[in-house]
Amino acid sequence: MDIGFIGLGNMGFHMARRLIEAGHTLTVYDTRRAAIDRLVALGAAAAGSPREIADRLETVIASLPTPDIVLAVATGRSGVIAGKRVRRFIDTSTTGAEMASRIFTALKAKDIVQIDAPVSGGVSGAEKGTLAVMVSGPRAEVEAAEPALKVFGKVFFISERPGAGQTMKLANNVLSATAMAATSEAIVMGVKAGLDPRVMVEVINAGTGRNTATETKFPRNIIPRKFDLGFTNGLMMKDVNLCLAEAKSLGVPMEVVSAVARLLQHACDEIGPDKDLTTIVQPVERRAGVEVRAPHSNDD
């Protein structure tokens, strides 16, 4: 397929790279010239704006950090909506169902179909092509885009309803955030009591407390004090707040997720919204007066 790709950050770069490696012809755009050049070196063509990509190509994929940026890229004056050739806009970002529906309606007026395709699996999943791709949109258009979407990982068709893929993504991400928050408190408690966090993780992973934080994030990113997952506190805060807003609109109480949001806010305020999500453990550590690291470790 001939594909346009907008947004070449931590996730987008690997997704775009995999499309090139799979034999698709790619034209790319990012606000950072260095990010464009990195893909051009791998065989992509460069464009100067989202509109330029939409002038050239029928299928445009976006991987962007916030709902407002997606809205501007999709419907702004120099956005996809102004393109002469584009037929479908595939958004792999996390925007929430309300924003997805808003963009769907705006693009539909110009005979452009939006396909929601938010992804989960992190930077490592984008790199390896093992993402979960949660798709909603007209079935025929999804099928037309599937050769590209399958390059990213396993495709799940959620619904034809605009925004359904976004609701699925938010449900997934709040569970991921909850695992991080709850595991941080549990492991810090154990360390304060004198337990080895490495042993704690081994025990939990052999028992009923096992989750994504204990399986990967604590042993790989936190206990070695690397804090290099590749996803920020601010982005997870955005996702959790989107979920809380959607739950409120649906009349669904979310007391546990509200508590997770408070801990994430502490991480944003005290460590920084641009810091790695795995630093969510640090506000808990500070209050407890301990650090989650291997005993007698020489790591800084």
Whether residue 226 lies in the annotated active site: no
Q: Are 14 and 35 contacting, i.e. CB atoms less than 8 angstroms apart?
A: no
Report how far residue 217's alpha carbon sits from residue 276's, in angstroms, rounded to the nearest whole number: 11
Report how far residue 42's alpha carbon sits from residue 20's, in angstroms, rounded to the nearest whole number: 8
Measured from the Cβ of residue 249, the count of other Cβ atoms closer than 10 Å reads 11
Q: Are 56 and 84 contacting, i.e. CB atoms less than 8 angstroms apart?
A: no
What are the CA-CA distances from residue 237 to residues 75, 124, 132, 181, 266 (Å)?
25, 20, 21, 12, 10
Element (H, E) at 158: strand 153-159
* Residue in the block written with tokens 């790695």: 276
Report how far residue 142's alpha carbon sits from residue 29's, in angstroms, rounded to the nearest whole number: 23
Which amino acid belongs to residue 248? Answer: K
Question: Which of the following is catalytic: 84, 169, 226, 275?
Answer: 169
Q: Are 255 and 291 contacting, i.e. CB atoms less than 8 angstroms apart?
A: no
Active site positions, annotated: 169
